[in-house]
Chain A
Amino acid sequence: MLSVIFGALNPRFLSMRNLLAIFQQIAVLGVATMAMALTLISGGIDLSIGSMIGLSTVIMCRLIMDGTAVPLAILIGAVVPVGCGFLNGVIVAKSKCVPLIVTLGMGYVYYGFALVISGGLFMSMQGQFRTLGRGVIAGIPIPMYVVILMVLGTHVLLKYSKFGRRLVALGGNETVAFLSGIGVDRLKIITYTLGGAIMALASLVLVSRLGNVLANVGEGYELRALAAAIIGGVTFEGGRGNIPGVFLGVGLLGIVQNGLNILQVSSYFQTLALGVIIVAAVVVSNIEKIRQ
């Protein structure tokens, strides 16, 4: 429906090139939203995922600029978010603190590291590692394959694996999960670590496409991923939500953003619009409770 509205307002919206562009724009968000959805469904949240992108990509660039072999630099850059996720998981599980605050704070820690490492300057990949973000196979950009594989993988994991069952149960009722013999702390750590691993992939796609980055390159991804997940039917309480729905949420956000771009709405207004969408989505998703 939104596509039709935007299409009517500006014919350029419905062109094949633009549709591909939308996909390209949402590739990183789509992957990041999988990480967000998993932590949300487990009854937690990870607000540091945006900063993980910054830290990971800045480290990759720094290493390459310092002459490290490209594959090694990329490997190290990819391990960083996994470590971040693990750390988040350990703190959340062991401290029993509210994950919202823990990961918000940890996001600052990671962002701070990224600022220190980059000195606040642009970091460059020096033209290396361009294929993942910019390559095309059979006329379709590689990031599209990445996001589709990621979505399918997460879907199967969540819906059909034992791990997914346990994760949903954890989000559904932590006491029940505990009394059913699930190692609750361990499961939380695994979930956050997995989220970090997914963010590693998001970071690779983004740095490959952009070529050079600032420490704040991932800013806002956490909130947009959160919005996409909530729009897609995931709840703050956990235990609810399915990945196809979440992916629709990602698509919706992508369409809105692209449409606003094409209509040449200023980025300031876009920020405003995003905020409204997020709050509206959260309120709508809570309608059942309000009625009670």
Chain B
Amino acid sequence: MFPVPAFLQCPNPDMEQFPVIETRDINKTFPGVKALSGIDFTLLPGEIHCIVGENGAGKSTFIKILSGFLRPESGDIVIGEETFRYLSPHLSQEQGIQVIYQESLLVPQMNVVENIYVGREITGKLGFIDRRKALSETRKVIESLGIALDPQAMVENLEVADRQFVKIIKALAMNPRVLIMDEPTAMFNAQDTGVVLKLVEDISKRGISVIFISHRLEEVARVGDRVTVFKDGRTVASHDNPRRNIDLAMITREMVGRSVDAFYKKVKTHPGETILEVQGLKLDKDSPEVNFTLRRGEILGIAGLVGSGRTEIVEALFGAGKKIQGKIIIRGREVTIDRPSDAIRAGLGFITEERQRTGLALGLSVAKNMTIAGLNKFKRAFITPADEIRSAGRYVDDLAIKTPSLQQEVRFLSGGNQQKVVIARWLFRESEILIFDEPTIGIDVNAKAEIYRLMSKLAANGAAIIMISSEMPELIAMSDRVLVIKHGQITTELVGENITEEKIITYAFGVTDDEQTA
């Protein structure tokens, strides 16, 4: 009845044995970090090739090299019969590579059809947009995929799952040879996940190769023809999965692999009295209740995948994020925390993850950034530079902040020194409960060790610390206890010897028997 669009046609079966993409010895370095070392990767026509690995294992970097957003230092990318040193975004698309990113790249104020054809609108004779043709083409694709989606619905009114479909259709409409999906099921419930997975299988049956990145190992086992494990910028293993029964325990072990090097270890203290108790904290009506306690002298690690809701929990605690209920008891007294000023008054300090965006006013001086949360520490109404030197100056010495003066704008400081300024802000305020969200992100190795030593010292002096981290060695070496978060819920609490990379990953990824939700 209708001509079948090209991308829905089956490929020539003779092509099957040649890889669509092959990378050879890809290397990529970021300042201070070797992001990828010697990646050899093969993608066959029509296969679903899953990539798994921890946060920071190099998956995203590798995808960005395939999509042309990053250039490797060395190595070859072979696509079909052509060999490239690197790709550009344009070249990558031209070679038939389409990426569906986690973050939405749709225009919410446009409807489904308009989004699919944005930038390459179908025009009629006079140059006007041919809406009817675009609509009928889109309908055809939706029908062929067997999903229910109104092509004229506004994207802003769509459910998350449907938006994901729109992204997929949009990518398919470009006639790709390769579809890369970065955590396509991350925010779905079980039912929608099933639909997406089925769709992925359909797509691969049409001869389109899929690179499927997921943190959910059950999914990987279910759809993957092959599974490649990334670890510290290397591919550590690649398994065929013809019977969909790959050993997930083995995969987990391979993801962990590295022995945890004791680069710095928190000085063991005897935790003092309980300073903070969180009881029945709920962020919204569907989210699980969160309960935990924190004692003086303790570092409480919070582990979990990116997007697992770790930050949201501490933001709620600090009065900076939404919450609908929950009792917060500090030093034995219940406190109401509706906004950060309440939390600060109760003795909390928050060192945020995005230092440059939410931690510092970059154009302001070291002194101004340092004193902003504790201006009331100044007794007099007016503050002179001499007052600043007297009161804030000692933190420059105590924390060894490298800056020519207190009046230097913080944007000229290195990452490590900037982080020290943020920490100094809360020391100046005399906060006793410090929340560190990814304390060493974007900081070089030496400064990292300094930050660890500082956190350890603070704990030894009676402060209580909550540390969110995605870095396993950091969590293991620094934490007295670790809470593992998954989907906003504390899945386990690990103490002492039980804090191992394997356990954290197991609970964070949820490859356990008590797994019911996903």
Contacts and interface: CB of A to CB of B under 8 A. Distances in A.
A161 B381 contact: yes
Contacts of A177: 361, 372
A165 interface: yes
B344 A180 contact: yes
Contacts, number: 76
Contacts of B345: 181
Contact of A172 (B341, B359, B363): B363
A161 B382 CA distance: 4
B368 A178 contact: no
B358 A240 contact: no
B77 interface: no
Contacts of A237: 363
B371 A179 contact: no
Interface string B357-372: 1111111100011011
B360 A165 contact: no
Contacts of A176: 358-361, 369, 372
B320 interface: yes
A239 interface: yes
B375 A172 contact: no
B354 to A, nearest CB: 9
Contacts of A165: 368, 371-372, 375, 383
Contacts of A289: none
Nearest to B351: A179
A160 B345 CA distance: 23
B373 interface: yes
A182 interface: yes
A182 to B, nearest CB: 7
Nearest to B364: A172
Nearest to B373: A180
Interface in B397-413: none
Contacts of A172: 361-364, 368
Contacts of A36: none
A181 B344 contact: yes
A271 to B, nearest CB: 34
Contacts of B350: 179
A162 B368 CA distance: 11
Contact of B364 (A161, A162, A169): A169
Nearest to B356: A173
Contact of A180 (B357, B372, B378, B382): B372
Contacts of A173: 357-358, 360-362, 364
Interface string A159-189: 0111001101100110111111111000000
Contacts of A179: 318, 320, 340, 350, 352, 358
Interface residues of A, number: 22
Nearest to B345: A181
B307 to A, nearest CB: 20
Contact of B372 (A156, A160, A182, A183): A182
Contacts of B364: 168-169, 172-173, 239
Contact of B340 (A161, A181, A239): A181
Given A179-B340, A180-B340, A161 B361 contact: no
Given A178-B340, A240-B363, A166 B375 contact: yes
Contacts of B372: 165-166, 169, 176-177, 180, 182
B383 A169 contact: no
A237 B411 CA distance: 15
A169 B382 CA distance: 16
B425 interface: yes
B378 A162 contact: yes
B446 interface: no
Most buried by B among A162, A179, A237, A240: A179
Most buried by B among A169, A172, A175: A172
B516 interface: no
B384 interface: yes
A178 B343 CA distance: 12
A173 B369 CA distance: 10
Contact of B363 (A161, A162, A239): A239
Contacts of A240: 363
15 contacts: A160-B382, A165-B368, A165-B375, A166-B375, A168-B368, A169-B361, A169-B364, A173-B357, A175-B357, A178-B339, A178-B340, A179-B350, A182-B372, A183-B339, A239-B361
Given A165-B383, A172-B364, A240-B363, 15 more contacts: A156-B382, A161-B381, A162-B375, A162-B381, A165-B371, A165-B375, A168-B364, A175-B358, A176-B358, A176-B360, A179-B358, A180-B344, A181-B339, A181-B341, A239-B364
